[in-house]
Amino acid sequence: MVARTHILGMGHAVPDNVVTNDDLAKVMDTSDEWVQQRTGIRERRHIVSDCGATDLGKIAAEQALDAAGLTIADIDLLVFATLSPDIDWPASATLLAAKLGAGAIPAFDVKNQCSGFLYALASADVLIRAGRARHALVVGGEIHSTGLDLTTRGRDVAVIFGDGAGAAVLGPSPDPERGLLSTHLHADGKFAEKLWLEGAASRSRPRIKLEDLGGDDPVAFPRMQGRYVFKHAVTRFPEVIHEALEASGFTKDDLDVLIPHQANLRINEFVAAALELGEGKVVNNIDRYGNTTAASIAIALCEAVRDGRVAEGKLVCLAAFGAGFTWASALFRW
């Protein structure tokens, strides 16, 4: 029988620079009260100098390798999830592989926004179980701060996002009863324009124009219909969590820990109530980091592993919803 895949080690990295809601209120018309009430976010991290998503990813990946007791020489697959690659192309995964001193291993990016880490995890799992790799590095990393409209015009989006990275080393589970039980991936491009970044687009010549930066609705910054996204999120999250539980014959009462993507604390509270998950079963850290997109689940899982909330034998569900729309889940017997 093919061994289950498991996470053998994790790491995460965020910039030192803390940006509070009050800091943002100095450059745009917003307030600590508005942001906390609507999103649960108190602060996020922004880089201050030249630093790409792979620079944070490298720190997270090295921690994950240490935690797994492995070195980069043991890794034969690298998947990097990001919507904010260091450069447009080549893939940031190849840049990260070079920074880590990897050999000529396969390395590719997954660009699937808030579901990116789970899409990357599912891809690596399939390749490992097919015998195409033994140990994979799966990294999610984002630098949002350099791409946000940090003025009143962009405040609905700008207050939400933060920079960060998280990493996991995947390999065969040491125990056949433990590891990744299933993954579930979904997408529906009908809703792409509800949360998107249009510039720089290959369909326009040149790909970015000066006027793209100005105007009331500039295509050079991410744009979101927040309420619309919120409504879909609170439907899709419970759906995809149930899908993961049912695939292995479990119910919501069997679930020990839920690690949802960190987009909005109110969304996660709604999901916890819908699933009747008791106090302490849902891991949230959005108050400290905001939405770090492809990194958010990896950072939250890493913190929960380190502080013992995710421990051997627990039934752990990871779940995501985001731009695309895309949504996904993964279920582990830890």
Give the active site residues. Answer: 114, 261, 291
Distances (CA, A) of 156 to 22, 39, 143, 163: 15, 11, 18, 17
Q: Please report whether residue 114 would count as binding ligand COA according to CB under 6 A.
A: yes
Mask for 275-314, x = binds ligand COA (CB under 6 A): ----------------x-----------------------
Measuring CA to CA, how many Å separate 161 from each of 19, 212, 263, 286? Answer: 11, 21, 8, 10
Alpha carbon 307 to its chain centroid, in Å, reads 20
Rounded CA separation 158/147 (Å): 9
> Is-contact 154 148, C-beta < 8 A?
yes
Cis check for the bond before 90: say yes or no (omega within 30 of 0): yes
Q: How many alpha carbons fall within 13 Å on the CB side of residue 256?
A: 14
The binder of ligand COA chosen from 322, 328, 330, 333 (CB under 6 A): 322
Question: Considering only residues 220-239, where is the footprint of ligand COA by CB under 6 A?
Answer: 224, 226-227, 229-230, 233
For ligand COA, give the closer residue by CB, 133 or 320. Answer: 320
- Taking CB under 6 A as the criterion, the residue among 4, 155, 309, 333 binding ligand COA is 155
Classify burial at 156, counting beta carbons within 10 Å of its beta carbon; exposed 0-12, middle 13-18, buried 19 or more: middle
Q: Is residue 186 near ligand COA by the rule CB under 6 A?
A: no
Q: Which is nearer to ligand COA, 129 or 153 (CB)?
A: 153
Out of 96, 107, 128, 159, which residue is the one contacting ligand COA (CB under 6 A)?
159
C-alpha 228 chain-centroid distance: 20
Q: Does 116 bind ligand COA (CB under 6 A)?
A: no
* By the rule CB under 6 A, 30 interacts with ligand COA: yes
Does 63 participate in binding ligand COA (rule CB under 6 A)? no
Q: Could you list the residues that contact ligand COA (CB under 6 A)?
A: 30, 34-35, 38-39, 114, 155-156, 159, 195, 224, 226-227, 229-230, 233, 263-264, 267, 291, 322-323
